[in-house]
Structure 1
Amino acid sequence: MNGLIKTGGLVLVGFVLVAALELGETLSIPGVHSVISSAEAVVGRPLTPVSVSGVARRSNRRD
């Protein structure tokens, strides 16, 4: 039972730490970096050959 309490405490401390880092990143506090990286969309042609041919089929104008 004692080990379970220690494990639960460590999980709680970890959760609070991650939440504090995320909150600091959201509030733009200098020097605080998030554990989770931000997602950025890349606009352009796909890199795989199969999907490039699919883009060519969809992007050609049909008269």
Structure 2
Amino acid sequence: MKKAERERLAADAVLQEPRHRAELFKGSYDEIWAENSPACKCRAFVTGEQTGEDISEEHDEGAI
């Protein structure tokens, strides 16, 4: 890909929002996130299931 085309695509990607790219992702997912690609530093979109856990700083002597 030529540099000019790569730069044009990178500029277009900045204007995109996750909802504009939903048709690209098949299957089920909780959310689409906009991130920067570690490879090319351009805007990218990823999907996944949003999970979490509670982390407690309290120490319980009886806990394993």
Q: Is TM (by shorter chain) over 0.5?
A: no
TM-score normalized with structure 1 length = 0.32
Task: Answer 1 or 2: higher relative contact order, Cα 8 Å, separation at least 6.
Answer: 2
Which structure carries more strand by proportion? 2
Q: Considering only CA atoms, is the larger Rg found in Structure 1 or Structure 2?
A: 1
Which structure carries more helix by proportion? 1
TM-score normalized with structure 2 length = 0.32
